[in-house]
Amino acid sequence: MKPKITDPEVTDDMEGIMTREEVMEIIAAYEAMYGMSSEEFLRQWKAGTAPDTRETNDWSMLLDWI
């Protein structure tokens, strides 16, 4: 299952767009899709070794928000 962010697009201010529970469900789906924890993803993201896709950019933004 590929997670999808629906309109309005994800912004720095997630209030009113998604609940925390919805965000956590999407994060869990990214973890399953990429076969790694968010902690490992962030390590790779910061090192510049994580894949650079729309999904990983969304994942990174969601992790910043929580």
- On the CB side of 27, CA atoms within 13 Å amount to 20
The secondary structure element, H or E, covering residue 39 is helix 38-47
Query: Which carries the bigger pLDDT value, residue 4 or residue 35?
Result: 35
Q: Which helix (H) or strand (E) holds 58?
A: helix 54-65
Q: Which residue has the higher pLDDT, 5 or 46?
A: 46
Q: Which two tokens stand for residue 33?
A: 């899709």
Return the structure tokens found at 54. Answer: 């729309």
Number of structural domains (the chain) is 1
pLDDT confidence tier of residue 32, bands split at 50, 70 and 90: very high
The domain in which residue 60 lies consists of 1-66
Count the neighbouring beta carbons within 10 Å of the beta carbon of residue 23: 19
Average pLDDT, the chain: 84
**pLDDT bucket at 2, cuts 50 / 70 / 90:** low
